[in-house]
Amino acid sequence: MSGRLFIVPTPIGNLEDITLRAINTLKEVDLILAEDTRTSSFLLKHLGISKPLKSYHQHNEHKILDELITQLNSGKNIALISDAGTPGISDPGFLLIREAIEKNISIISLPGATAFVPALINSGLPCNEFSFYGFLPQKKGRQTRLKLLELEEKTFIVYESPFRLVKLLQELQKHLGATRKACVCRELTKLFEETKRGTLEELILFYNSKPVKGEIVVVVQGNKNIDLETETNE
């Protein structure tokens, strides 16, 4: 009988944001795959969990894929975690999950922490429908994606590095207009958590005047005029 692959979310900052089920799962599996074993070792030590750890990240996921599938087929239960949040959401995981599905290996995905959900709620923007874009391409395809965002009717979410936040806001202003509403969430769940709401123009002025650190989630109002423009053109 083959083992099972558990997808286990971990805290994005505050170590209390982990479920009892996640803790029990990590205690029971045979192996834990971690994006960075140093980061994960700190969390596991905090939780009093001692299990074999193996690095699993974007630079080795293709190389060790067959080995992991073999272990799962031999009956080992494996948990996949990332440095923070839910594996597969802008973190490694998709390749292994897809291969496990093709090999009829049972996958159990636990609910838990992810950065974009609290950011979306905090934004005050409509969240009955939304689009998640993760990190935008840095070079090839970036302008194409930005043009796509011009047409996005739903509230949309992107991740960004603090070093590129102002550049992103400036690009969004160029494509969406200075008055488009947005929200920047920084260091969610951590000691210096910050949520700043305003127009793109206001956010650029604010973040141009101060250094920015930490993990960034940007939530942006969708294009409210697109339906009206389409009807007018017809």
Q: What is the pLDDT of residue 227?
A: 53
Mean pLDDT over residues 110-139, rounded?
96
> What confidence category does residue 230 fall into, taking pLDDT thresholds of 50, 70 and 90?
very low
Could you tell me the end-to-end alpha-carbon distance of the chain, in angstroms, rounded to an integer? 60
Distance CA 195, CA 126 (A): 16
- Give the angle 160-80-109 at the CA atoms, nearest 5°: 90
Q: What is the mean pLDDT of the chain?
A: 94
- Provide the percentage of residues in the chain whose pLDDT is more than 70: 96
Tens digits of residue pLDDT in 142-164: 999 999 999 999 999 999 999 99
Domains detected in the chain: 4-109 (3.40.1010.10), 116-229 (3.30.950.10)
Q: How far is CA 44 from the centre of its chain?
A: 21
- Predicted confidence at residue 69, as pLDDT, reads 97
Distances (CA, A) of 166 to 47, 160, 200: 37, 10, 10
Average the pLDDT over each of 61-65, 112-116, 149-153, 225-229 and give the range with the smallest value: 225-229
In this prediction, residue 210 has a pLDDT band, given cuts at 50, 70 and 90, of confident
At residue 25, what are phi and psi to the nearest 5 degrees?
Answer: -65, -45
Q: Quick one: pLDDT band at residue 233, thresholds 50, 70, 90?
A: very low
Mean pLDDT of all residues in 68-82 = 97
Q: Once rounded to an integer, what is the mean pLDDT over residues 70-87? A: 97
pLDDT value of position 234:
44
Q: What is the mean pLDDT of residues 33-43?
A: 95
Reference 176, options 154, 155, 156, 146; nearest CA is 146
Q: Angle 200-208/165-176 helices, nearest 10 degrees?
A: 160
Query: Within 13 Å and on the Cβ side, how many CA atoms surround 6?
Result: 25
